[in-house]
Amino acid sequence: MLHIKCPHCGLRSQIEFAYGGDATVKRPELNKEISDQEWDNFVYLRKSPRGKHLELWHHISGCRQWIKVERDTLTHEIFNTMKADEELK
């Protein structure tokens, strides 16, 4: 069982959260000409690293806020959690 420290609620067990995927992908900017390749990068292409991975989780059975979690995809160690609009330091 993962234990995720929600920046709003504190340490909670994994079953309160839903996974939201890679947090490093950025939607192309609005009001700008966007190439097919840029959409491809955003919608489909993923690094999926073995090791540190910055990802979104949704505290769906808690405060219902989206958060960012920096987690190791091999050991499941969690290094950092932050609010969704915060950047990794």
Partner 1 sequence: MQKYSVFSLIKNAFSDHENWEVAWKDPTPKKEYDVVIIGGGGHGLATAYYLAKEHKITNVAVIEKGWIGGGNVGRNTTIIRSNYMHDENGLFSEFGMNLWRNMSQELNFNVMFSPRGIINLAHSDAQMNVYSRRGNSMRLNGIDAVLLGREEVKKLIPMADFSENVRFPIFGGLMQPSAGTARHDGVAWGYARQADSMGVDIIQHCEVTGFDVTNGIIKGVKTSKGNIKAKKIGLCVAGSTNLLAEMLNMTLPIETHLLQACVSEPIKPILDHVVTFGAGHFYCSQSDKGEMVMGGDLDGYNSYAQRGNLPTLQHVLTEGIAMMPFLSKLKMLRTWGGIMDMSMDGSPIIDKTHIKGLYLNCGWCYGGFKATPASGWTFAHTIAQDRVHELNSAYSLNRFSTGHLIDEKGLGTKTWIS
Residues that bind partner 1 (CB under 8 A): 1-2, 14-15, 19, 21-22, 36-37, 39-41, 43-50, 53, 55, 71, 73-76
b or e along 48-74 (b: 16 or more beta carbons within 10 Å of the residue's beta carbon)?
Answer: eeeeebbbbbbbeebeeebbbbbbeee
Q: How far is the CB of 10 from partner 1 (least distance, A)?
A: 19
Q: How far is the CB of 53 from partner 1 (least distance, A)?
A: 6
Q: How far is the CB of 64 from partner 1 (least distance, A)?
A: 18
Selection from 78, 66, 56 nearest residue 5 by Cα: 78
